Amino acid sequence: MPRTELFPSIDPYQTGLLQVDAVHTLYWEQSGNPRGVPVVFLHGGPGAGASPTHRRFFDPSHYRIIILDQRGAGRSTPLGEIRDNTTDHLVADLEHLRTELGVAKWHVFGGSWGSTLGLAYAQSHPERCLGLMLRGIFLMRRSEIQWFLYHMRTIFPEAWTNFSDFLPEDERGDLLESYYQRLTGADHGMRMAAARVWSMYEGACSTLLPSPELLSASGEDTHALGLARIEAHYFRNNILTPENRLLIGVERIRHIPAVIVQGRYDIVCPIATADELRRAWPEAEYVVVSDAGHSAMEPGIRAALVAATERFKNVT
């Protein structure tokens, strides 16, 4: 039987800061086997940052595990910075880091926004990708953003009411713009208050069953500010052109071994999007977890992802 439990906790054997331009410095780390098969972990959000738990999806005896916090996220600085922060910047950052670390090719592992960035990176640099492990597919289209802002209330009306009611009634007609103005305004207290409400809305909708632990983490200052500011920035300013760019671009990567893991009851990134990607990319393995929502920490999602990293040991 393939392994389905997370691997034991480990510490990095190397950490560093990579200055990618005059504004942004990125945190990165390596753990596992320094001579192992490289895999890069792409966190969600955008803006959520990575955590020590993310190292545990990979067998540390086999993989050279590379994790970074993307622009403005987690331990990268400045926290929540939206200047010079676009999908193309993040793709270029991955190439910068790959070159800096002397990696010829690597596996790409990403969920939610990490699946967006993983697809964008692979389509720009297919020759650098050994394989793709993607979860909770998000393709950065207006319809998906509108779903997040307005239509998740059909399943989570209480969470959406808290999200909407944070704003004055006369500003609720454009939730994104109203939040964006607060998240980028000069009032630090207002920025943090708006960030916590935004982040906790997403956290409340991310699991099939309530998760107090996830909700508590969603309200933590660093996580909330990076996630909310950068998500609002991307949703407002960084729609891909054309919108179906990542579906069209499958032609460049269909030869790369890939697995798509999707929760049947994912409300943040509904399964319809993953199904579109599956139909555009029938060569990819498609795993639907029948009793899970969005979070990578849901038991079924976690098990499917670990099983995928185990199977991909054969892809080198």
Sign of CA dihedral 52, 57, 59, 64: negative
Q: In the annotation, is 84 catalytic?
A: no
Question: Which of the residues 59, 69, 93, 266 is marked catalytic?
Answer: 266
Question: Which of the residues 31, 112, 178, 206 is marked catalytic?
Answer: 112
Reading the block at residue 312, the tokens are: 């991909």
Q: In the annotation, is 59 catalytic?
A: no
Residue 62 CA to residue 34 CA, distance in Å, equals 9
Residue 35 CA to residue 135 CA, distance in Å, equals 26
Q: In the annotation, is 266 catalytic?
A: yes
Please give the radius of gyration of the chain, using alpha carbons only, rounded to the nearest integer: 18
Q: Please give the DSSP secondary-structure letter assigned to residue 69.
A: P
Residue 245 CA to residue 270 CA, distance in Å, equals 19
Question: Which of the residues 24, 59, 294, 295 is marked catalytic?
Answer: 294
Cα distances (angstroms) measured from residue 107 to each of 87, 126, 252, 308: 19, 11, 16, 12
Residue 65 CA to residue 15 CA, distance in Å, equals 12
The residues that are catalytic are: 112, 266, 294
